[in-house]
Amino acid sequence: MAELFRNAGPIPRSQWGDLPDVPVDHLDYKYVRECNNVVKLKDIVRVLQSGKEGLYPDLERCARERLLELMPERWVRRLFYDLSLPSLLLSFRHVATPCQRSPLSCV
């Protein structure tokens, strides 16, 4: 689920066969705003992320926001935890050790 909320960019054409079949008329603001089906919205986000039908970043953002509105709260908490974990790990990697702060302190 977290992969739907990461901006990885368009996927190669060779992987388009793995995408869900979403009718083009579902790639519309009105449909996205009125859709109450989490599975369909996930499929729409995947197709929009792929770039198969073109790049529509605002529509993709709208679909993600609608998906968040419909997801149960525990899924949303888990999603934000999954998305924040890599950034926390990166921040720990960049903490300077005493030797990195002052070369003379390790001599």
> What's the whole-model pTM score?
0.66
pLDDT digits (tens, 9 = 90+) for 7-56: 666 676 666 777 878 889 999 999 999 999 999 998 998 888 888 888 89
Cα dist from 22 to 39, 68, 78, whole Å: 11, 19, 27
DSSP letter string, 26-77? GSSHHHHHH---HHHHHHHHHHHHHTTT---HHHHHHHHHHHHHHS-HHHHH
Residue with the two structure tokens 């599975």: 39
Q: How far apart are CA 34 and CA 40, in angstroms?
A: 12
Band of pLDDT at residue 99, cut at 50, 70 and 90: very low
Both tokens of 5, joined, read: 């909320």
